[in-house]
Amino acid sequence: MICVKIHKSYRDVIALCDSELVGKKFEEGVMQLDLRENFYKEKEVTYDEAVQLIQFQTREDATFNIVGKNSINAAKEAGILTDEGVKEIQGIPFSLVLV
């Protein structure tokens, strides 16, 4: 499952994170992923639902904060992300996407 939260702003921010990573913190050198529940968890969706949500939100001019293998793969399948746009901290893939 993938946790999703939509932060309403002048340009919506869509936070997606693999469910099993929410609430954890990863550090590597000066880089850090602090995957707080209040930022990432509003509801849980399936992989296919995440792909559909990403495709819809792309048309709405949203930005994306994506963490975890399943979430990253959903963004790739939705067509907003390639391998070049993915970084890792302690083996956890993440990306920020401005469409």
Question: What does the alpha-carbon distance between residue 21 and residue 24 come to, in Å, rounded to a whole number?
Answer: 6
Average pLDDT over the chain reads: 96
Q: Is the pTM of this model over 0.85?
A: yes
Residue type, 83: D
Sign of the CA dihedral 92, 17, 47, 9?
negative
pLDDT digits 0-9 by tens, 32-76: 999 999 999 999 999 999 999 999 999 888 999 999 999 999 999
Please, which pLDDT band fits residue 87 given cuts at 50, 70 and 90? very high
Q: Which domains does the chain have, with CATH numbers?
A: 2-98 (3.30.1860.10)
The tokens for 13 are 């921010």
The tokens for 93 are 């893939």
**The pLDDT value given to residue 24:** 97
Between the two ends of the chain, the Cα-to-Cα distance in Å is 24
Please, which pLDDT band fits residue 10 given cuts at 50, 70 and 90? confident
